[in-house]
Each structure stands twice: as structure tokens, then as C-alpha cells.
Amino acid sequence: MDFGVVEQVARLDGWLGEGGVVVLSGAGLSTDSGIPDYRGPSGSARRNTPMTYQTFTGDPVARRRYWARSHLGWKTIGRAAPNAGHLAVARWQERGLLHGVITQNVDGLHQAAGARDVVELHGNLARVTCLDCGVLTGRAELEHRLTAANPDFSAVASAVNADGDVDLDETALDGFRVVDCLSCAGTLKPDVVYFGETVPADRVSRAFELVAGARTLLVLGSSLTVMSGRRFVLRAVKQGIRVAIVNRGVTRGEPYADLLIDAPLGVVLPNLARDTDTHRLLPQ
């Protein structure tokens, strides 16, 4: 890190040490775990158009092809392990420095690192929901069923996206069979919020509550391009809560940031609040 970044990190370290920090994480936090982001350096949004709720529910062919791609994508997402950034966030929470964790990610890596009570704005790919009866099941169970239903499916993905979808030659999807809900034979969908779908109101409300009680809103690895995440930055600014952003590349949060660090998260985050003598454990 150059001297300017070192100074910025030291300033952020002081804010973290005061406690009351709410983390808002985006796809850039998970790139070191092998999951590409949307609009940052690995930029999957530049390669493909994400699945929309309207297309998934209204087009059976598109839905079948999505499940084939997602079936392959889960082989990467499901095996991904938390990186140094996720572990740092979990450590801060364990030591009482965090007021809460909000994530736009659907990979579950915050929890795998040991974080608790994470507000998953966009859901989690490890769960599957039935659009007809609403029952939730685990993704591992679905993967066993899809594998059994498609024993000869041998397609290979060229790239995996942050939402668990993959880039794949469309001809490789022919003949893929989907499976239905075991409870009611209804339509299954990953328990994630697609583009064009509304984030559940209780999650939004909980996230706003966390922001309102924060000393600092710390954005990690998000371009804040979509309002789903940027609204929390706007709320923090409105309420006089300082905003710090650590992100590689352009972010739409720049005009609102009291501190903006453009540097690798895997380098910056492990260097924050490492000294337990400097930053004492705060009351939970």
C-alpha cells in the first residue's frame, strides 16, 4: 500500500476502534473466494444479463436453462470458502466493534466465517423456495435430485457469476430436466431476490434500523450502482452518520463518502483492528 492509502487505513482503523460500525458488503468482498463481482475488475455484469423474476416465472424454457446453468454454478459457489475479508468482519463482530452486518451477497460466506445475525438483503443460494407453497429446502438436497434427473449432463461453464449463474453455450442446455417441489409439485426457485423482484420489507426495515444506530457505515466491495444498497448510504448521510467505503474501482457512493479507499480488500481489511490492546472489546 502506498503512503496515502496507509494514512486512510489508519483513519478507518480509528473509526472501527470506536465501535458502532455497520458493515454493508457487496460482491467485491467475495472475489478473493473465487466468486466474480458484478461491475468491478472481474465484472460479470459486462458479460451477461442477470436473470429477472419476470423471465424466470413467465418463461419455462428460460427457467429450465437457468436451472442448468445454476446447477453448474453451485459447484463453485457451494465450495467457496471465506477469505481474509470475511474473517476480518467476523473477528470485528466477535470483539464487539460491529453494530451489525448487512450483505448484498447471496453466497453465505459471512456466516461461514463466523458472523452472526447477518441481514441477507438478497437471500442465499444455499436455500430453495417453492413459488407455490412457500416451503424452504436446502440447496444440497436439490442438487442431488438434479444430478439424478440429469445423469448425462456434462456441460462445462466458461465463467461463474456472483449470482450463481454461469456463462454456457446454449446448445449444452438442451435436454436438461428440472425437478419440482416435493411437497406440492410446484415451481422451485433459489431463495434469492432476482432483478425486478422486491427485497422483502422486513429485511429492508432491519437494515435501516442498523444504519440508524451506527457511528459509521462501512461499505465493503460494492459499486453501489443499484439503489438496493445505495439507499443505506443515502440514509446514513441524511442522518449525519459517517460513511467509509473500501472498494476496487468506481463506486457511486464516492460523493457521499467521508473516507474512500480504493485498494484490495484482502490487503486492507486484515490490517484493521488487529491490536486487541488498542481496540478493547466493547459491550455487545
Q: Which residues are annotated as a binding site?
A: 130, 133, 181, 184
Location of C-alpha cell 465463467: 159
Per the CB < 8 A criterion, the answer to whether 80 and 110 are in contact is no
Cell, residue 250: 468506481
pLDDT in tens, 84-142: 999 999 999 999 999 999 999 999 999 999 999 999 999 999 999 999 999 999 999 99
Q: Give the bridge partners for 216, in sequence order.
A: 21, 242
Measured in whole angstroms, how far is the alpha carbon of residue 102 from the centre of its chain? 9
Give pLDDT, residue 155.
83
Give pLDDT, residue 284.
37
Edge-to-edge strands, sheet with 119-120? 119-120, 98-103, 21-25, 216-220, 242-246, 259-261
Among 71, 110, 122, 279, which one carries the catalytic annotation? Answer: 122
Give pLDDT, residue 223.
95
71 is catalytic: no
Give pLDDT, residue 147.
96
> Which of 186-195, 200-209, 270-279 has the least mean pLDDT?
270-279
Per the CB < 8 A criterion, the answer to whether 125 and 74 are in contact is yes
Answer whether residue 77 shows pLDDT above 80. Answer: yes
> What phi and psi values does residue 152 have, to the nearest 5 degrees?
-100, 5
Answer whether residue 158 shows pLDDT above 80. Answer: no
Across 262-281, average pLDDT: 76
Answer whether residue 50 shows pLDDT above 90. Answer: no
How far apart CA 148 and CA 237 sit, in angstroms, is: 51
Q: Which residues are annotated as a binding site for Zn(2+)?
A: 130, 133, 181, 184
Across 215-222, average pLDDT: 98
Per the CB < 8 A criterion, the answer to whether 70 and 190 are in contact is yes
- CA neighbours closer than 13 Å in the CB half-sphere of residue 39: 13
Across 248-269, average pLDDT: 96
Structural domains of the chain, with CATH? 1-35+82-122+199-284 (3.40.50.1220), 46-79+124-192 (3.30.1600)
Entry pTM: 0.91
